[in-house]
C-alpha cells in the first residue's frame, strides 16, 4: 500500500503502491502517508521526504468504493480531513515526483507538497464533478491559490486534465523532465535540500505557506519574527562562519 524507503541517510522516499487501484488514495493509504510523515518529522536524521507513485500513475484519485454508500452525515464525520491536515502540517521539505495520471485526491496530495517535478507525459486534473461531487481536500481551496481562479474553474467545472507543460506554466509543478525521470530529479532535489540548514528550511517553508492565510502586513511581521529567531541558532553562527572561512557548513539543526 505504501512503501517506505531510505535512498539516503537524510531522505525518506514514500512510494504509493496500489497498482490494482491505480494508487487510489483510500483512507488507509492516506493514514499511512500521514503516519510516515509524522515519523519523518520526529526523526532528526531526515531532512527531506519524496513522495511518488508508479511510472504510469501517481494517484488516480480517491477510492470511489469508499464513497458509494456514504451520506452527507458520513462525509461530515469522515476522518480524512484530519489526515489531510497532518500532511499539510509536515514541517520539512516535501517533494513530489509525478509520472502519468495525477487526478482528484492525487492532485490534492500533490498540492500538499512544497516542490513537484513531473514527467512530460503526466496529466493533472480535478474530475470530481463527473461523479456528481466536487473536490473536498484542496481542489477548490488550494488550487486557485496556486494556479489562479480561471484555470482552477476550468479544471474543476469542466473536469478536463492539463498536461505537464501547462501545469508548469500555471505554477502547479516546478519542473518537467523526460518521462521516467521525475523520481531521479526529485531525489536530486531532496539531496540538495538535505545539505541546507534544516531550521532555516523549516522556517522558510512555514513562512511561504503562511501566504495562503495571513494578510500582507501580518505576514511581513511573522516573517521578520521568524527571521530574527534564526539568529539565535547554532546553524546561523555556523553558516556565517563557514561562509567567511570558505568551507562547507556543518549543520546541526540547533
Q: How confident is the model at residue 84 (pLDDT cuts 50, 70, 90)?
A: very high
Share of residues in the chain with pLDDT > 70 (%): 96
CATH number corresponding to 198-245? 1.10.12
Percent helix, strand, coil in the chain, to 5, is: 50, 15, 35
Q: Where are the domains of the chain?
A: 2-194, 198-245
Among 143, 29, 152, which residue's Cα sits nearest to residue 79?
29
Q: What is the pLDDT of residues 109-143, one digit of tens each?
A: 999 999 999 999 999 999 999 999 999 999 999 99
Assess if CATH 1.10.10.60 describes domain 2-194.
no
What's the confidence (pLDDT) of residue 16? 98
pTM exceeding 0.75 = yes
Per-residue pLDDT at 71 exceeds 80: no
Answer whether 2-194 and 198-245 agree in fold.
no
- Cβ 99 vs Cβ 179: under 8 Å: yes
Task: Tell me how far apart the alpha carbons of residues 22 and 57 are, in angstroms, rounded to a whole number.
Answer: 6
- Cβ 187 vs Cβ 13: under 8 Å: yes
Select the more confidently predicted residue: 9 or 17.
17
- Cβ 59 vs Cβ 23: under 8 Å: yes
What's the confidence (pLDDT) of residue 201? 98
Q: How confident is the model at residue 63 (pLDDT cuts 50, 70, 90)?
A: confident
**Which of 3-17, 73-87, 212-226 has the least mean pLDDT?**
73-87
- Average pLDDT rounded to a whole number, residues 22-35: 96
The mean predicted confidence, pLDDT, of the chain is 95
Amino acid at each position: 500500500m505504501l512503501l517506505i524507503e531510505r535512498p539516503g541517510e537524510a531522505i525518506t522516499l514514500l512510494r504509493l503502491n496500489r497498482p490494482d487501484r491505480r494508487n487510489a488514495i483510500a483512507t488507509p493509504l492516506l493514514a499511512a502517508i500521514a503516519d510516515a510523515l509524522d515519523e519523518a518529522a520526529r526523526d532528526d536524521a531526515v531532512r527531506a521526504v519524496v513522495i511518488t507513485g508508479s511510472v504510469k500513475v501517481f494517484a488516480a484519485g480517491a477510492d470511489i468504493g469508499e464513497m458509494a454508500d456514504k451520506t452527507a452525515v458520513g462525509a461530515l464525520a469522515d476522518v480524512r480531513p484530519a489526515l489531510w491536515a497532518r500532511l499539510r502540517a509536515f514541517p520539512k521539505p516535501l517533494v513530489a515526483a509525478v509520472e502519468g495520471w495525477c487526478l482528484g485526491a492525487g492532485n490534492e496530495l500533490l498540492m500538499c507538497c512544497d516542490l513537484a517535478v513531473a514527467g512530460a507525459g503526466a496529466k493533472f486534473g480535478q474530475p470530481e464533478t463527473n461523479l456528481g461531487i466536487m473536490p473536498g481536500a484542496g481542489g477548490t481551496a488550494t488550487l486557485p491559490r496556486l494556479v489562479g481562479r480561471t484555470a482552477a474553474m476550468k479544471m474543476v467545472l469542466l473536469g478536463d486534465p492539463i498536461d505537464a507543460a501547462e501545469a508548469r506554466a500555471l505554477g502547479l509543478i516546478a519542473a518537467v523532465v523526460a518521462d521516467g525521470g521525475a523520481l531521479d530529479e526529485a531525489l536530486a532535489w531532496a539531496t540538495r535540500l538535505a545539505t541546507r540548514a534544516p531550521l532555516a528550511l523549516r522556517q522558510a517553508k512555514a513562512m511561504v505557506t503562511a501566504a495562503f492565510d495571513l494578510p500582507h502586513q501580518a505576514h511581513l511581521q511573522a516573517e521578520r519574527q521568524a527571521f530574527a529567531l534564526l539568529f539565535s541558532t547554532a546553524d546561523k553562527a555556523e553558516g556565517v562562519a563557514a561562509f567567511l572561512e570558505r568551507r562547507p557548513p556543518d549543520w546541526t539543526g540547533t
